[in-house]
Amino acid sequence: MVQHKMWAIGGGKGGVGKSVLTLALSIWLAKLGRKVTVVDADLGGANLHILLGIRYPSVTLQDFISRKVDKLSDVLIDTPHENLKLICGADDMLSLANPKYTQKMRLLNQLNNLPTDFVILDLGAGTSYNVLDFFLYATGKLAVFTPQATSLQNVYGFIKSSLLRRLSREFSQNEVLSALIIRFASGSGEEKISSMSELKHIVREFSEENYLRLCQITDNFDVKIVANMVKKDKDREASKVVRTVTEKYLDIHLTDLGFVQYDTEIERSVNRMVPFLLDDSKSQAALSTYQIAYQILKEAAAKSSGDEHTRPGSPYAALSPAAGSPALP
Ligand SMILES: Nc1ncnc2c1ncn2[C@@H]1O[C@H](COP(=O)(O)OP(=O)(O)OP(=O)(O)O)[C@@H](O)[C@H]1O
Ligand SMILES: [Mg+2]
């Protein structure tokens, strides 16, 4: 059985609504009766507690890291929402801003072992290794963007960086492949590799085994996308653009979980530092975040019953046993 409870919300660009959506989805999952722990994993720019109306958190992740408290559960704090606990980041996380890979994994493993149905990570902006490693660790990966051209570029860059981080860890012992991955990452110069299919083609010439492994990784690289702050009908095409470009250059299929409208109520509640409320049935954003949360629930149920995602028609699919699609409970 695949454990599928940790979701990471990333997207590269700052200010696109990662924290707002993290919270909205966490609140809806809690309202749907699931035990949820939302974690401010924005090391250095923690603000999730403010969005929940908590000005001065009594404990933060820093207390756990510095061993002021023993157990991770000691830094869980209550929120105004039933079923929803928060783990705060801290303003002064400089010591944490560059934790070692093993430290990060230890923290993530412990978060994953919390006795809760969902652990939702709010990631910081950018594509630092911290952000990417948190994103890669989570079995549920959600990338948020806005319809602006710069945001589309950023989200593509974020997905590409996380895929390449995944590949460079996978092939870290293989010098030739590591060099090829760097050529693909740099994306410029005479030696550049401009797409994943080009990379796969080159790899196949000297190692069928590594080629198949590459295909397996891209097939299973399961990222969901959500467009936020959608204002007009045309904005909805943004997701299609992101999906098309990602498929063309990275050979991965994104799943579009929908979009969230621009909603002045969200902006107002953030500005007034009042806890986020989603019971305004008139709000389109409330409804769309509810629908996304519901899809996350369905996905978690499907994954837990062993529905591994393998793209039909891929070389890897041809070699692997047919993936079943068990019905939802
Ligand atoms: N759907 C929306 N409608 C209206 N305003 C929104 C919406 N989503 C987010 N915002 C506004 O955008 C601002 C930035 O959102 P948020 O803090 O969630 O971004 P972020 O991606 O987490 O940024 P950072 O990378 O800096 O952490 C919020 O203060 C809020 O006012
Ligand atoms: Mg944020």
The 3-class secondary structure across 41-71, one letter per residue, is ECCCCCCHHHHCCCCCCCCCHHHHHCCCCCC
Q: pLDDT at residue 229 above 90?
A: yes
More reliable by pLDDT, 3 or 189: 189
- Read off the pLDDT band of 276 (50, 70, 90): low
Best residue among 131, 270, 273 to mutate for probing ligand 1's pocket (most ligand atoms within 8 Å of CB) is 270
Chain-centre distance for alpha carbon 58: 27
What spacing in Å lies between the alpha carbon of 266 and ligand 2's midpoint? Answer: 14
Residue range 160-218, pLDDT digits in tens: 999 999 999 999 999 999 999 999 998 777 788 999 999 999 999 999 999 999 999 99
Is the CB of 40 within 6 Å of ligand 1?
no
User: Which 3 state secondary structure label does DSSP give 258?
Assistant: strand
What spacing in Å lies between the alpha carbon of 124 and ligand 2's midpoint? Answer: 6
Best residue among 9, 231, 265, 267 to mutate for probing ligand 1's pocket (most ligand atoms within 8 Å of CB) is 267
What spacing in Å lies between the alpha carbon of 267 and ligand 1's midpoint? Answer: 8
Ranges 29-38, 71-80, 264-273: which has the least confidence: 264-273
Between CA 204 and CA 279 the distance in angstroms is 54
pLDDT at 113: 92
Give domain 6-147+221-309's CATH superfamily. P-loop containing nucleotide triphosphate hydrolases (3.40.50.300)
More reliable by pLDDT, 178 or 276: 178
Partners of residue 6 on adjacent β-strands = 119
Residue range 125-143, pLDDT digits in tens: 988 888 999 999 999 999 9
Average pLDDT over residues 260-289: 80
Written as six digits, the tokens of 224 are: 């969901």
What spacing in Å lies between the alpha carbon of 15 and ligand 2's midpoint? Answer: 7
Best residue among 228, 262, 266 to mutate for probing ligand 1's pocket (most ligand atoms within 8 Å of CB) is 266
Partners of residue 143 on adjacent β-strands = 10, 225
Kindly report the average pLDDT of the chain as a whole number: 86
Written as six digits, the tokens of 165 are: 């981080």
